[in-house]
Amino acid sequence: MRAIACLLLFTLSSTLVQAATPGMHQADDITFTATPVSKDALFKGGVPIQYNISLVNSLPTVQNGKITYRITGMNGKFLAEDSLVIKLAANGDRQLLLNMPSRQIGLYKISLMINVSDYDDTIRRVFGVDVDKIKSAYAKPADFDQFWKNTKTELAKVKPNFRMTEMKDSVTKDNRKLYLVEMQSLDNITIRAWLTIPISKNKNKKCAVLLGLPGYQVNLKPGYGDDPDFAVMYLNVRGQGNSRDVIHTDRTGFISYNIEDKDRYVMRGVIMDCIRAIDFIYTRPELDKDKIVVTGGSMGGYLSAALAGLDNRVKIYSAQNPILCDVRNLSTTEWPMDDIMRYAKIRPELTPDKIYGILDYFDAKNFATGISGNILVGMGLLDNLAPPQTVFAFYNNIPKDKKLMVFDNLAHEVGPSYVIYQGRWSRDLFGMF
């Protein structure tokens, strides 16, 4: 297989790539490991919740005590607790299978605690039951599709005035040329992107394109990589990076910018910026419009999901830890809803009903039913910014051609296996062997 570095090395948002390792806590002399029996800590209804517990005692003394589990709902409501008495031999180890009663459909928090003579520790995890059956209780607005049809029509009336400027001394060590891309988007706002194109002796070569969408208030810089078959385009949507000419809020103010009116809310324009980027790619003779990968994490994952639901020109989408899924079930004490509700306190007309009524038009789960391309979704079960129950509500609304990768011990991030799979999957779907 050819190098896939440009597909392996971009994270594009606040999402971080790091190793996914089993739950393990270790003192100087005691190791405590908990691993779910079911893959990714996703269990079927009617079967026990089981974790393999591994204990290694390197101390020269016997350790007496107990292993305790405590299960709560995702809201912290207590559901169950029980303990198992244990004895660890000096310089010994022990393997246990912790059995817990089955649960109904949903996500649950579990605390696994060890309390022995010379060691106390807790491993906190989340497990799911029949997660493929998780659905939102809230329907999308009746005029949702018409709203976005009208928005795209409005965008189409804006002359894009595409500009592509080669940067001075742009040839890099990766044998690429760097370009600044500028274009007009909704409301005639200028947005910018960085594009790097591999240099080739074949003047007629068309490169596949990796379009990276930004995380929240992330300033995307040029993306390189050493894959000679892929151009890399990183988009800075309005209000971010080098596209802050008109909208230049502070970090907390961006998510609530013009939220009083769904026709002026910042995310409406941001999503149209992503569609305009696809418009640009379609105009370039050196770029292969039939081989576009759209990817992003956090807000970028959300934008990838929204774009997938609105634009059928792209074959492959990747959404890592997408925010703003099933918004009415998001905690108002966690970002992004805490920033939105804080803003609402200084605007008395912004009642919760009005806020949710507007956000319904921007809920990722409501875009999901329109997704027709192939989409890969990644999530961490410990994620408090893109809570797993809301991401499942989004994912389960996607009708077909979808793939989910779950990381039971990660939060707002995905593991290296996700990025590796994405690269191989993209090449396979494009027939690039």
| Residue from 340, 334, 387 nearest 364 by CA | 387
pLDDT at 224: 84
The answer to whether residues 73 and 144 belong to one domain is no
Taking each helix axis from N to C end, the angle separating 299-310 and 266-283, rounded to the nearest 10 degrees, works out to 70
Same domain, 315 and 346: yes
Instruction: For residues 268 and 382, state if they share a domain.
Output: yes
At residue 9, the pLDDT reads 34
Q: Which amino acid is at 77?
A: K
State the Cα–Cα distance between residues 86 and 50, nearest whole angstrom.
17
Do 179 and 39 lie in a common domain? Answer: no
Nearest Cα to 255, choosing from 295, 220, 294, 215?
215
Of 84, 112, 133, the position where a domain reaches its end is: 133
Tokens of 22: 């089993």
What is the distance between the alpha carbons of residues 391 and 381, in angstroms, rounded to a whole number? 10
Q: How many domains does the chain have?
A: 2
Nearest Cα neighbor of 317 from 334, 297, 336 is 297
Query: 68 vs 116, 164, 352, CA distance in Å?
Result: 11, 61, 40
Which residue segment(s) compose the domain that 416 sits in? 5-16+136-430
Query: What is d(CA 49, CA 389) in angstroms, rounded to the nearest whole number?
Result: 18
Give the CATH number, domain containing residue 69: 2.60.40.10
Q: Given 133, 163, 178, which residue is the final one in a domain?
A: 133
User: Do 115 and 185 reside in the same domain of the chain?
Assistant: no
Do 181 and 90 fall into the same domain? no
291 and 316 inside one domain: yes
Tokens of 409: 């011990």
228 and 155 in one domain?
A: yes
Report how far residue 303's alpha carbon sits from residue 298's, in angstroms, rounded to the nearest whole number: 9
Which residues of the chain carry a pLDDT beneath 70?
1-28, 170, 172-173
Question: The domain that contains 420 carries what CATH number?
Answer: 3.40.50.1820
31 lies in the same domain as 144: no
298 and 325 share one domain: yes
Shared domain for 9 and 35, answered yes or no, is no
Distance CA 431, CA 429 (A): 6
User: C-alpha angle with apex 78: 66 to 102, nearest 5 degrees?
Assistant: 75
CA 284, distance to chain mean position in Å, is: 29
**251 and 367 within one domain:** yes
Select from 81, 103, 133 the last residue of a domain: 133
Rounded Cα gap, residues 150 and 393, in angstroms: 26
